[in-house]
């Protein structure tokens, strides 16, 4: 059997933790091999070792049967290994083609041969069905397209082994479908792929084999056709996982959030939220369903004080809060689990213990007369870290050193613990493993049952359907329908989201 990649007995330690403890991974040529494991299991670390970003303490790597030392990403490139990171590394002001050839420019008489570069990029794009425009500026293209630019970049450098670290976490359902097709095209052309994902459905759909790791140790490698979602979930977390969330009927109380006819412009000055009205009551979860780019980000930013409104009102518990500062909004009783945890969620170079109490650091008991009581703060932090199962060596570890999913759990713990009247959860389970998703869903329902208003934004229709008591469908900046999840289907929701079906006007603001 021909393996393109063999990682044998890999050990990688960080201060206080063994991230990879004797892990084995063997990837066959032409397969899509999934790497599955809980948040913090050691998946990204293992791939960073393969890509030359980390040096393992022990173990051996073989590429196409030959023992190698991969001491830098350049070395990895030379060996035909490319990695598509979750946080893209593109230059915004450059075109796609310029980004792709960066550092590898084709030259003609000592000058960069732009025409040839664009042609080469176009050829690769055509070959794998990437459908990307080499001349487009990175700043003007969607996240999905930026990801394709990253894929093209590795291909342009001759990669035939591609590592994808949670590529679908940032994509919309439609973009995910397209990426799956691209991956199939890649393996059909002889490439091999290692795919990290928490979405078991994706593994069942496109992967050939799957290697499961738990707490830094390799558990098993399976043929995908011999397994199923339930088995994968329990192998990965070491217990049974329920995919359906249990909840009682909602007991909605007084109106907590009332949005009346707001209009909001995006960064380019385009009105992306138009005359939008929405209401969320105490004790209910309202889910916002919509195709990305229909104004949902601007709506959340307007509610949380990150963006001004041009008209209309946002009322929280009877008080107008539109156009207040984010801190004033927070203090008026809103908790916010943000979409982009790096931009708005965490200070990466601060200890996780300080991050987890960040929103309240200027209040008692953490501060009195302008002095921070670090002892109190860390005591609280330790409680939250344990309650929300944030896997970290200790509370002093910088947020940057935590795995993606554990950063997210810390933010959720912080926002829920502040006990806000309105909790805004934007993509709360993005990047979380199935066990952690189950936990977060329980927490959100607990908040609802404690009489809080919860506003949920998610691209996962299943999540919207499972959690929401009412679903508001957003289309072109407007709530075009409000439906009861009990009497709708994912198909109907999909049609509404695409704007190709209108609910009777009477129901629109229910």
Ligand X SMILES: Nc1ncnc2c1ncn2[C@@H]1O[C@H](COP(=O)(O)OP(=O)(O)OP(=O)(O)O)[C@@H](O)[C@H]1O
Nearer to ligand X, 39 or 272 (CB): 39
Determine if 7 is a binding residue for ligand X (CB under 6 A): no
Determine if 43 is a binding residue for ligand X (CB under 6 A): yes
CB of 166 to ligand X, least distance (A): 7
CB of 401 to ligand X, least distance (A): 4
Q: Judged by CB under 6 A, which of 80, 353, 404, 477 binds ligand X?
A: 404
Residue 125: which H helix or E strand, with range?
helix 114-128
Determine if 19 is a binding residue for ligand X (CB under 6 A): yes
* Residue 52 interacts with which of Mg ion, ligand X, none, CB < 5 to 8 Å by class: none
Q: Which of the stretches 126-134, 136-144, 225-233, 401-409 binds ligand X when contact is defined by CB under 6 A? A: 401-409
DSSP code string of 2-13:
-EEEEEEEEEEE
Side-chain-side CA neighbours of residue 414 (13 Å): 26
Q: Judged by CB under 6 A, which of 42, 252, 335, 428 binds ligand X?
A: 42
| Buried residues in 209-242 as b, exposed as e (16+ CB within 10 A) | bbbbbbbbebbeebebeebeeeebbebbbeeebe
Determine if 402 is a binding residue for ligand X (CB under 6 A): yes
CB of 471 to Mg ion, least distance (A): 31
Nearer to ligand X, 182 or 401 (CB): 401
CB of 458 to ligand X, least distance (A): 18
Task: Respond yes or no on whether the N-terminal peptide bond of residue 365 is cis (omega within 30° of 0).
Answer: yes
Determine if 146 is a binding residue for Mg ion (CB under 5 A): no
Q: Judged by CB under 6 A, which of 25, 45, 85, 224 binds ligand X?
A: 45
Binding to ligand X (CB under 6 A) within 362-391 occurs at: 391
How many chain residues bind ligand X (CB under 6 A)?
19
CB of 42 to ligand X, least distance (A): 4
- Helix, strand, coil tally for the chain in percent (to 5): 35, 25, 35
Q: What angle do CA 168, 474, 340 make, to 5 degrees?
A: 40
Determine if 399 is a binding residue for ligand X (CB under 6 A): no
| Buried residues in 453-485 as b, exposed as e (16+ CB within 10 A) | bbbbbbbbbebbbbbbbbbbbbbebbbbbbbeb
Q: Which of the stretches 254-262, 306-314, 397-405, 497-505 binds ligand X when contact is defined by CB under 6 A? A: 397-405
Site string for Mg ion, 24-63 (x = CB under 5 A): --------------------x-------------------
Q: What angle do CA 144, 145, 151 make, to 5 degrees?
A: 95
Cα separation, 286 vs 424, whole angstroms: 10
Cα separation, 9 vs 6, whole angstroms: 10
DSSP three-state, residue 462: helix
Determine if 17 is a binding residue for ligand X (CB under 6 A): yes
Residue 288 zone, left/alpha/beta (φ > 0; ψ -120 to 50; rest):
beta
Which residues here bind ligand X, judged by CB under 6 A?
14, 17, 19, 37, 39-45, 391-392, 401-406
């Amino acid at each position: 059997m021909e393996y393109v990649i063999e990682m044998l007995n890999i050990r990688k330690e960080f201060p206080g933790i063994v991230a990879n403890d004797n892990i084995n991974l063997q990837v066959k040529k032409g397969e899509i091999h999934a790497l599955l494991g809980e948040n913090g299991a050691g998946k990204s670390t293992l791939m960073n070792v393969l890509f030359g970003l980390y040096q393992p303490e022990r173990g051996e790597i073989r590429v196409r049967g030959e023992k190698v030392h991969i001491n830098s990403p350049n070395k990895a490139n030379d060996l035909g290994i490319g990695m598509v990171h979750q946080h893209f590394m593109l230059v915004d002001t450059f075109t796609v083609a310029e980004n792709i050839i960066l550092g590898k420019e084709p030259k003609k008489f000592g000058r960069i041969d732009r025409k040839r570069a664009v042609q080469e990029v176009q050829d690769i794009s055509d070959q794998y069905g990437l459908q990307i425009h080499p001349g487009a500026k990175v700043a003007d293209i969607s996240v999905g397209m930026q990801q394709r630019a990253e894929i093209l970049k590795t291909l342009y450098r001759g990669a035939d082994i591609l590592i994808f670290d949670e590529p679908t976490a940032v994509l919309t359902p439609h973009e995910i479908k397209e990426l799956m097709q691209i991956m199939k095209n890649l393996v059909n052309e002889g490439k091999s792929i290692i795919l990290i994902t928490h979405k078991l459905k994706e593994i069942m759909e496109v992967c050939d084999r799957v290697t499961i790791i738990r707490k830094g140790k390799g558990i098993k490698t399976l043929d995908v056709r011999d397994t199923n979602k339930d088995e994968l979930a329990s192998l990965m977390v070491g217990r049974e996982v329920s995919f359906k969330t249990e909840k009682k009927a909602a007991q909605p109380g007084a109106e907590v959030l009332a949005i009346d006819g707001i209009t909001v412009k995006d960064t380019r000055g385009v009105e992306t939220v138009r005359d939008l009205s929405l209401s969320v009551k105490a004790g209910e979860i309202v889910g916002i369903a919509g195709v990305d780019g229909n104004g949902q980000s601007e709506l959340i930013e307007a509610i949380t004080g990150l963006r001004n409104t041009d008209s209309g009102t946002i009322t929280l518990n009877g008080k107008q809060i539109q156009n207040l500062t984010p801190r004033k909004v927070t203090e008026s009783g809103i908790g916010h689990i943000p979409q982009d945890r790096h931009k708005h969620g965490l200070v990466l170079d601060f200890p996780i213990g300080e991050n987890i109490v960040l929103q309240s650091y200027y209040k008692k008991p953490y501060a009195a007369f302008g002095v921070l009581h670090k002892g109190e703060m860390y005591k609280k932090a330790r409680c939250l870290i344990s309650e929300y199962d944030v896997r970290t060596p200790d509370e002093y570890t910088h947020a940057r050193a935590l795995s993606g999913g554990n950063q997210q759990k810390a933010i959720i713990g912080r926002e829920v613990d502040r006990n806000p009247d309105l909790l805004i959860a934007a993509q709360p389970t993005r990047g979380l493993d199935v066990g952690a998703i189950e936990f977060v869903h329980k927490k959100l329902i607990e908040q609802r049952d404690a009489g809080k208003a919860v506003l949920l934004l998610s691209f996962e229709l299943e999540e919207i359907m499972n959690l929401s008591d009412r679903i508001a469908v957003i289309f072109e900046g407007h709530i075009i329908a409000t439906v009861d999840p009990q009497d709708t289907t994912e198909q109907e929701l999909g049609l509404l989201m695409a704007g190709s079906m209108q609910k009777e006007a009477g129901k629109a603001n229910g």
